[in-house]
Amino acid sequence: MINRTANLLGVVGLAVADLIEDTAREILKHVGETPAALVVIGYDLGPSNDQLRRILCLSHSGTVRLIDRLVADGLVERREGRDRRAVALYLSKRGRTLREEILKERLAAIRPLLAPLTGVEQETLAALLHKMLSSMETTDMERRTLCRLCDDRVCSNCPIPAGKQAKT
C-alpha cells in the first residue's frame, strides 16, 4: 500500500508543479526559477545574489544571468547591501505587481485539484500535509528552498518555518 500511496503522491506533486509552471509562463513569459526569484526577493529582506543563488539552487553565473534579466525587464532593483560588499535585491513596483499575480494565480491553479474533496476531507488533507512537512528534517536554507513559491500570508502555523530574519 505504501508504494501505491507514494506513487499517487508523486503524480499529484508533478501535477501541481506543472500547474504552477504553466501559470508562471502565462504571467511572466518565463519559467525556470524566475517566478521563485520574484517571490523570494519580494519577502523584502534584500537578499544578495549569493543568498538568492543558494535558495534557488542555481550556479553563480545562472543567478547573475537571472538577476540581469529581471533588472533589464524592470522587475528587480539592485541597491546597496547592509554590509556594502554585497548588492541587495528588491522588487520594483512592476515586480511587486507580478509577484502578487503569481501568488494569486498559483493558488487559483491548484485549488481545482481540491474541488472534489469535501470540506472535512480538505481539512484532513491539510492536517496530513502539515504532519508530513513538519516531520522533515531540514535546515533553514532547505526550508527556504521548499517555500520559495509560498505565499506566507496564507500559511498560518507553518509546518516548516524558515525564519525570515535567519542568516542565509
Which residues span the domain enclosing 57?
A: 2-146
6 domain-assigned:
yes
**10 domain-assigned:** yes
pLDDT reported for residue 1: 79
Q: Which residues contact 35 (CB under 8 A, 6 or more apart)?
A: 20, 24, 27, 28, 102, 149
Does a structural domain hold residue 18? yes
pLDDT at 162: 65
Give the CA dihedral 72, 75, 81, 87, nearest 10 degrees: -30
- 23 falls within a domain: yes
What are 90's strand-pairing partners?
77
Give the CATH number, domain containing residue 91: 1.10.10.10
For the chain, how many structural domains are there in total?
1
Does the residue 159 lie in any domain?
Answer: no
Q: Residue 105 has what pLDDT?
A: 95
Question: Is the Cβ–Cβ distance between 48 and 142 less than 8 Å?
Answer: no
The CA distance from 76 to 85, in Å, is: 19
Count Cα neighbours of 25 within 13 Å in the Cβ-side half-sphere. Answer: 8
Per-residue pLDDT, 108:
95
pLDDT score, position 53: 95
pLDDT for 18:
93
For residue 135, the SS3 value is coil
Asked whether residue 151 is domain-assigned, the answer is no
Model pLDDT, residue 167: 39
Using alpha carbons, list the distances in angstroms from residue 127 to 31, 68, 121, 131, 153.
Answer: 31, 40, 10, 6, 18
Give the pLDDT of residue 163.
56
Residue 142 covered by a domain: yes
Whether 125 maps to a domain, the answer reads yes
| Successive 10-residue mean pLDDT values, the chain, 168 residues | 92 94 89 91 91 94 96 95 86 96 95 96 95 89 87 83 50
Q: In this structure, what is the dihedral angle of CA atoms 64, 70, 75, 79, given to the nearest 10 degrees?
A: 20
